[in-house]
Amino acid sequence: MAQKSADTLRVVFRDAVPNIDPYYNSQRTGLIQAHHAWDTLVYREPSTFEMKPLIATAWKLVDPVTLEFTLRQGVKFHDGSTLTADDVVYTINTVASPDSKVATPSNYAWIDRAEKLGDYSVRIVMKKPTPAALEYLSFVTPIWPKAYREKVGAEGYAKAPVGSGPYKITKVETGSGLQYERFEEYWAGSPKGKPAIKKISVRFVPDAATEMTELLSGRTDWLWNMNPDQFDAVSRMPNLQATRAESMRIGYLSIDAAGRSGAGNPLTKTKVRQAIWHAIDRETIAKQLVTGGSRVPPAPCFPTQFGCDAEAAVKYEYSPAKAKALLAEAGYPNGFETELVSYVLPPWTAAVQNYLQAVGIKARVSQLQVAAAIQRSWRGENPLYLGSWGSYSINDVSAIMPVMFGGGNDDYARDAELQKFLTEGGSTNDPIKRQAAYAAAIKRVTEQAYWLPMHTYVNTYGFVKDLDFKPYPDELPRFFLAKWK
C-alpha cells in the first residue's frame, strides 16, 4: 500500500548524493533535494519559465553589471532564525570565491561580489554582463543561514542542513537517504505553495533493477528514469501509473582529445574522434533505446537554449565505412583498445560499445555509480565517458558549453580558441554578438569532434495511482506541488 495513510511519500533514486549541501554536488538528484529544502532569490515558474518573486520581492538591473534586490521580510529558516541580507551576501560571496571549491564553479564565475544595502536589500555586482543571471539565481543559488553555517562549519552543515524551503530535512544518512518534514512556518503566498504531503522519505538504491523491485513490491511510491523497457509493465499494474516527459538533459560521449587520461592516447587525433562520431548510430539509440520522443541534438546543447545554433554544427552521418577509413588514415587500420566509463543505463552503454567494436575500437566498459564516474572524470581518468548534463535546466548555452569546454574539471578538449569564443559569448548582453560567438564555438566543437551529443533524455516516471504528480520539462520533480488523490 502507498503511504497515503501515513502522509509520507516514499521516493527512491539510484544516484546517492555524497554531500547534500547543494553547492557541493553536481548531481540532478542533489538539485532536486535543494529545491525542496532551500529557497532562492527568485522562482522560475515551471510551465512558462516566467520569473516570480521568492526570497526577493523585487529586482532591477541598475546597469549592465549590477542587480539590486529587495528581500522579503519574515522569511524563516528551519532553525527559527530570520533570513536577512546578511545571509544572502554571505552565501553569494562564499560560493563566488575561487577558494569555495563548489562542485560547478561556472555557475558562479560571473559574480564579482554581493553587497548589503540594508537589512532587506542587496546588490549583486557581476564581473561581466550576464544575460542568464536570473536563471542562475533561480535554479542554482539557494541561500544558506549565515549564523548557523558558521557555527557548525561546512561539514556540520552537510550533516544537519538548514534552509528556508517548504520542507525541512530532519535526517541525513550519507549515501543512504534523507528524511523530510513539511516546514509549518513556511511563508504564505510562496509560488512553491504550502506542501500538501507532510513527509518525504528519500532512499538511495544501487541500480535500476533494485529501484523497480522497490516500486513493484510496494516499498516505494515514486521513481524516475526507469528503463524504458519497463514502461508498459508498470502501466499495466493496477496500483501504478507511468508517464514520460522529454527534459533539457542531454546524453553525451566525452572524448579525451586533450590526452588527460594518459600519454599515447589515440583519441588525441582528430580523425580518430571523427571516426567515433561516424561509428555510432545515435538515431537508433534515441528511437529504440531511449524512446518516448528522444531526439539527437545536432549541436552540443539543448535545442531551445539561447545560442544553440544547429546550423553552425558540422554534421556526421552514421557510416561505419567512413569510420573505418578515418581510423586507417589516422594510423589505426586494425583499431585500438580503450576504456569506456559510464553511469547511464547498461543497455545504452552496451550499444555504444557494440558500435565502436564494429569499426575496430575495443572499448572496455567500466559501469559506475554516478558520483564515482563524475569523480573519475574530474580527475582526468576517463578516455571515453558516457554521461549526461541537464544544464541545471537553465535555458542558455552558458549553462552547458563553458562547463564542458571552459577549462574546468569536465573539459577534455582544453582548446584555448574554443575557450575564447565561450568567453566572448558570456561577456556581453548583445544577443547578436552572443549568437555569433556561440556559433563559432559550436562549429569548433563539432569540427574537432570533441564531445558527441548522443540524445535528449526522456524521463520515465513510475508512481502509485494515489499520487497526483505532474512532471515538467525542466527535469525538476516538485514534490511540494504534489498531493494525494
d(CA 143, CA 83): 9
According to the model, what pLDDT value does residue 48 have? Answer: 86
Count Cβ atoms below 10 Å from residue 172 Cβ, excluding itself.
Answer: 18
Question: DSSP letter at 40?
Answer: -
Given pLDDT bands bounded at 50, 70 and 90, which one contains residue 227? confident
What element of type H or E holds 456? strand 451-464
Burial call 153-168: b when 16+ CB within 10 Å, e when fewer: eeeebbeebbbbbbbb
Query: Which residues, at least 6 apart from 414, have a Cβ–Cβ distance to it below 8 Å?
Result: 257, 258, 260, 407
According to the model, what pLDDT value does residue 393 have? Answer: 85
Given pLDDT bands bounded at 50, 70 and 90, which one contains residue 1? very low
pLDDT average, residue stretch 365-380:
94
Average pLDDT, the chain: 95
**In the predicted structure, residue 47 carries a pLDDT above the cut 90:** no
Q: pLDDT tens digits, residue range 409-462?
A: 999 999 999 999 999 998 888 999 999 999 999 999 999 999 999 999 999 999
pLDDT average, residue stretch 218-227:
94
Instruction: Locate 386 and state its grid cell.
Output: 558516457
d(CA 21, CA 162): 10
According to the model, what pLDDT value does residue 340 have? Answer: 98
pLDDT average, residue stretch 83-99:
97
According to the model, what pLDDT value does residue 410 have? Answer: 96
Q: pLDDT tens digits, residue range 170-204?
A: 999 998 999 999 999 999 999 999 999 999 999 99
**In the predicted structure, residue 113 carries a pLDDT above the cut 60:** yes
d(CA 41, CA 353): 44
d(CA 248, CA 343): 18
Q: pLDDT tens digits, residue range 380-407?
A: 999 999 999 999 888 899 999 999 999 9
According to the model, what pLDDT value does residue 70 have? Answer: 98
**pTM (2 d.p.):** 0.80
According to the model, what pLDDT value does residue 344 have? Answer: 95
Check: CB of residue 277 under 8 Å from CB of residue 406.
no
Q: Which residues pair with 306 in a beta bridge?
A: 396
Q: pLDDT tens digits, residue range 257-309?
A: 999 999 889 999 999 999 999 999 999 999 999 999 999 999 999 999 999 99
Given pLDDT bands bounded at 50, 70 and 90, which one contains residue 229? confident
Instruction: Locate 420 and state its grid cell.
Output: 575564447
**In the predicted structure, residue 346 carries a pLDDT above the cut 60:** yes
